[in-house]
């Protein structure tokens, strides 16, 4: 992909670097994965404060430059790869023990990169990430403002706001504001499901028409008659006037359990199974 399409806005504000490094809470024995190291605004601090650093950079020239810079340091490896497809469950450094993720993420790919790590079998212990401000709000949203992305993140992790970052802290400045978030994956998902695929299929359908009441949205998403969708919501004990954004993670658990008990009513044309590349947030 051409560099200008890789979300390359390089951090130039040392106080933002300090905040990210402080939030990462590094130890000299830590293994850290940095996503999109670019010209190394965060990399030097990561290398000096932790034991091993794995750099994943998609841009060939930037990856070559980092490989040359750290050639003689056995504690640094550079992968010239797309972090959306990186397999943390396969990399020897990450399968040996716990690891942390840090990154000023390319905004076009932030959601799939976060999902790739949160849904992997080898999840990081923490992720300190910079994303677009609106995306950060969605990821950390509370009931009343929840979205599909809020559920997708909060089923796997606790999300805490670290700092807002204005465009002038970057070169070139992006058109949007940014936010640093700290995600701490929970030991087990916050929802108990037989199949994550089934659960997120329901959530995705539930947000089909986010501004409508939940039963309308479910009727649209699941292709079931309005009356059936209303009965499903009534069985959960929720007010039928509720909109999808008001449901907490615990509410989604109740709705999912009720839906499963009812035999997963849906008349979805074609397969209901999500394909590997069917991005949930797309
Ligand atoms: N960390 C640097 C900084 O803070 O100045 C650069 C951050 S810049 C916002 C995003 C970086 O991610 C760029 O270096 C870009 O080349 C890289 N990148 C873009 N897409 C990527 C992908 N899919 N996987 C890994 N790195 C990617």
Domain ranges of the chain: 10-185, 196-261
**Which residue lies with its CA nearest to atom 22 of ligand 1?**
82
pLDDT for residue 267: 60
Q: Residue 251 has which token pair?
A: 């509410």
Locate the ligand 1 atom nearest the alpha carbon of residue 130 and give its number. 9
Instruction: Tell whether ligand 1 has an atom less than 6 A from the beta carbon of residue 104.
Output: yes
Domains 10-185 and 196-261 share a fold: no
Q: Cα(189)–Cα(187) distance, rounded to whole angstroms?
A: 7
Q: Residue 206 has which token pair?
A: 């539930």
Q: Cα(5)–Cα(21) distance, rounded to whole angstroms?
A: 27
- For ligand 1, the distance from its centroid to the CA atom of residue 87, given in whole angstroms, is 18
Query: Helix, strand, or coil here: 247?
Result: coil
Instruction: Tell whether ligand 1 has an atom less than 6 A from the beta carbon of residue 165.
Output: no
pLDDT for residue 280: 37
pLDDT for residue 279: 37
Dihedral sign computed on CA atoms, order 214, 217, 223, 225 = positive
- 270 Cβ neighbours under 8 A, 6+ residues apart: none
- 70 Cβ neighbours under 8 A, 6+ residues apart: 47, 55, 76, 78
Q: Cα(221)–Cα(215) distance, rounded to whole angstroms?
A: 10
pLDDT for residue 3: 54
Give per-residue pLDDT as tens, 121-160: 999 999 999 999 999 999 999 999 999 999 999 999 999 9
Instruction: Tell whether ligand 1 has an atom less than 6 A from the beta carbon of residue 62.
Output: yes
- Count of CB atoms situated within 10 Å of the CB of 144: 10
Locate the ligand 1 atom nearest the alpha carbon of residue 84 and give its number. 23
Residues of the chain with pLDDT under 50: 270-282
**Nearest CA-CA partner of 178 in 117, 281, 103, 116:** 103
Dihedral sign computed on CA atoms, order 243, 137, 86, 25 = negative
Instruction: Tell whether ligand 1 has an atom less than 6 A from the beta carbon of residue 83.
Output: yes
Torsion angle of the four alpha carbons 118, 122, 124, 130, in this order, in degrees rounded to the nearest 10: -40
The top-level CATH class assigned to 196-261 is mainly alpha
Query: Helix, strand, or coil here: 132?
Result: strand
Q: Cα(190)–Cα(260) distance, rounded to whole angstroms?
A: 17
Q: Residue 191 has which token pair?
A: 């929802």
R_g of the chain, CA atoms, integer Å: 20
**Which ranges in 140-195 belong to alpha helices (H)?**
148-154
- For ligand 1, the distance from its centroid to the CA atom of residue 171, given in whole angstroms, is 13
Instruction: Tell whether ligand 1 has an atom less than 6 A from the beta carbon of residue 170.
Output: no
> Which CATH homologous superfamily contains domain 10-185?
Vaccinia Virus protein VP39 (3.40.50.150)
Instruction: Tell whether ligand 1 has an atom less than 6 A from the beta carbon of residue 40.
Output: no
Q: Cα(260)–Cα(235) distance, rounded to whole angstroms?
A: 12
The answer to whether residues 83 and 113 touch, using CB atoms and an 8 Å cutoff, is yes
**Nearest CA-CA partner of 215 in 258, 276, 185, 154:** 258
**Which residue lies with its CA nearest to atom 12 of ligand 1?**
36
């Amino acid at each position: 992909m051409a560099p200008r399409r890789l979300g390359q806005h390089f951090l130039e504000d040392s106080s933002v670097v300090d905040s990210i490094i402080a939030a990462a809470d590094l130890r000299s024995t830590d293994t850290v994965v940095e996503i999109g190291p670019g010209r190394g605004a965060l990399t030097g601090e990561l290398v000096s404060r932790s034991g091993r650093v794995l750099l994943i950079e998609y841009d060939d020239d930037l990856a070559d430059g980092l490989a040359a810079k750290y050639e003689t340091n056995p504690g640094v490896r550079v992968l010239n790869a797309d972090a959306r497809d990186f397999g943390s469950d396969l990399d020897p450094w990450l399968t040996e023990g716990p690891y942390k993720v840090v990154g000023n993420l390319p905004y076009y790919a932030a959601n799939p990169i976060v999902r790739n790590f949160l849904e992997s079998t080898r999840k990081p212990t923490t992720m300190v990430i910079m994303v677009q401000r609106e995306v950060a709000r969605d990821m950390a949203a509370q009931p009343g403002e929840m979205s599909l992305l809020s559920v997708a993140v909060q089923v796997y992790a606790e999300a805490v706001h670290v700092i807002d970052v204005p465009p002038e802290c970057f070169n070139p400045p992006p058109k949007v504001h940014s936010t640093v978030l700290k995600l701490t994956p929970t030991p087990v998902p916050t929802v108990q499901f037989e199949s994550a695929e089934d659960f997120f299929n329901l959530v995705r359908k539930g947000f089909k028409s986010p501004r409508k009441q939940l039963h309308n949205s479910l009727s649209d998403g699941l292709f079931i008659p309005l009356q059936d969708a209303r009965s499903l919501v009534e069985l959960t004990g929720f007010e039928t006037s509720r909109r999808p954004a008001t449901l907490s993670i615990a509410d989604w658990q109740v709705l999912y359990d009720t839906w499963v008990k009812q035999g997963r009513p849906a008349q979805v044309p074609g397969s209901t199974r999500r394909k590997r590349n069917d991005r949930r947030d797309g």
